[in-house]
C-alpha cells in the first residue's frame, strides 16, 4: 500500500491531473520490486 500526502490537488478530474507524477512513479517503483496488486491512499 502506498500512503501519500501532497498539496495542490492534482487528482483525477482536475485541470492539474496531467501534472501528477508522484503516484504513477511510486506505483511503477513498487511493481518493479515484485507486488502486482498495489493500492494507494492519497490526501491533498
pLDDT of residue 5: 75
Q: Kindly tell me the sign of the dihedral angle through the C-alpha atoms of 9, 11, 12, 18.
A: positive
- CA angle (34 as vertex; 33, 35 as ends), nearest 5: 115
Q: What share of the chain is helix, strand, coil (3-state, %, to 5)?
A: 30, 20, 50
pLDDT of residue 37: 84
Backbone angles phi, psi at 28, to 5 degrees: -65, -40
Dump pLDDT digits (tens) for 1-44: 777 777 776 767 888 878 878 888 888 888 899 887 888 777 76
Amino acid at each position: 500500500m502506498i500512503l501519500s500526502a501532497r498539496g495542490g490537488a492534482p487528482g483525477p478530474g482536475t485541470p492539474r491531473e496531467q501534472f501528477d507524477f508522484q503516484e504513477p512513479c511510486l506505483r511503477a517503483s513498487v511493481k518493479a520490486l515484485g507486488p502486482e496488486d498495489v493500492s494507494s491512499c492519497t490526501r491533498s
